[in-house]
Amino acid sequence: MFKKLSLLFTMPDLRKKVFFILAMLILFRVAATIPIPGVDSARLHSFLSDNQFFGLFNIFSGGVLDNLSVVMLGVGPYITASIIMQLLTMIVPRLKEMYQEEGEAGRARFNQYSRYLAFPLAILQAYGLLILLMRQQVIPNLTPFGYASNIIIVTAGTFFLMWLGELITEKGIGNGISLMIFAGIVTGLPGYVQQTWFALTADQIPTYLAFIILSVVVIAGVIIISEGQRNIPVSYAKRIRGMKMYGGVSTHLPLRVNQAGVIPIIFSVSIILFPGLIGNFLAGVPNHYAQSVSYFLIHLFDNQWIYGIGYFFLVFVFTYFYTAVTFDPQQIADNIQKQGGFILGIRPGAPTANYLSRIINRITLAGGLFLGAIAVLPIVIPRIFGIPALTLGGTALLIVVSVVLETMKQIEAQIVMREYDNF
């Protein structure tokens, strides 16, 4: 691995790509340090630490909410728009055809529609976030002109980051949006390590060592499940056209254990924390009934056991749901049949689709349990070790591991391609 990483800096074109990515990420972090006017840093830190919804939103925005920067929405609106567009493929056949059957041109147009949808979502999120932060006295009361100017600035910041992400994807290595989210998560790691180190006492050393060992085991498990797949053998019949013979080969259809990635966790957190978000909005309404409803919604999941069980269940259910959205056994069976392929022992057509459906349901069971366990680890780990600062798992861990694995694959592919060209 280290040999391949060293090749990045010995090959001129790859070295140029690496430096380009670093320059774009530095530009992203510079933009994340420019706050909007009048931010109370102490209140903002307290607000983010006490609010689980915005703590997660801060992760997906790349850590840009830490100082309420001009790019404080991050790429959140674009991620939300992409998820909505993928869900719409179940309802609108034309979108499904565009995304799955029209190749690169169709996906490019599909992504363009996602960008269009991200614009109104960015405006709505900017307005709602500013209202909520003003009620929490994180920012001062704004005039109508102040609202309009801040919404324009924040929306422009979102599209600026989307542009940076697309530049990284086009001219660099890996997915630009994922790399920016990864950079936002990793940026806060040194501060967390420093804070933990200064709070360490001699009697806590065995506890911290056990936590480090458990962290290594969990990360290894995440890698194994993320890379795990079941290969379905597919054979192709021989076909003779003119004087040439085609087919007669065997290959495999890979079915990943975790088809859904981190999307089920995003859906689940959005739903389970939505009552608290509504409660925060109602807290500023000067009405007795509204205050009562607000109190009930904010304290609905104060019991960590109820919160953890509900969270695990939602992640598990949404894993199946999103896998059903993105994986169509009937379409895959039809494509195999059109190409003259078949699964040994299974008849083409509907029997193949039923077989693939059974297989994907079984392996999704393991993927759903895995995602649910990773999601609730930040709740369980502090209770096991008795130290609230020791947290492990959750969305951040999945994102970091997934981005590192995907980027390493992209680097390896680039190196292999250049070595092949030289040969």
Domains of the chain: which residue ranges? 1-187, 203-392
pTM: 0.75
Pairwise CA distance, residues 102 & 111, whole Å:
13
Pairwise CA distance, residues 237 & 54, whole Å:
55
**Which residues are registered as beta bridge partners of 246?**
239
- Alpha carbon separation from 230 to 138, 211, 257, 337, 408 (Å, rounded): 50, 32, 7, 20, 22
Structure tokens at 131: 């209202």
Do the domains spanning 1-187 and 203-392 agree at the CATH topology level? yes
Residue by residue, pLDDT tens for the chain (423 residues) are 566 666 666 777 778 888 888 888 888 888 888 887 766 666 776 666 666 556 666 665 556 666 778 888 888 788 888 878 877 887 888 887 787 777 778 888 888 888 899 899 888 888 877 877 777 777 777 778 878 888 898 899 889 988 988 888 888 777 788 888 788 777 777 766 776 676 667 677 777 787 788 888 888 888 888 888 888 888 877 666 666 655 567 788 888 888 877 778 777 776 776 676 677 667 667 777 777 877 777 677 667 777 788 888 888 888 888 888 778 888 888 888 887 788 878 888 888 889 889 999 888 888 888 888 888 887 777 777 666 656 665 677 777 888 888 888 777 777 777 665 554
* pLDDT for 94: 82
* pLDDT for 391: 65
Superfamily of domain 1-187: SecY subunit domain (1.10.3370.10)
For residue 136, the tally of other CB atoms under 10 A from its CB is: 18
* pLDDT for 28: 87
* pLDDT for 309: 84
In sequence order, which residues have a C-beta less than 8 Å from that of residue 330 and are 6 or more positions away? 350, 353
Following CA atoms 241, 244, 249, 255 in sequence, which dihedral angle do they give, to the nearest 10 degrees?
-50
Structure tokens at 79: 């991620």
Which CATH number is associated with domain 203-392? 1.10.3370.10
pLDDT, tens digit, 9 for 90 and up, residues 239-285: 666 666 555 677 888 888 888 777 787 777 767 766 766 776 676 67
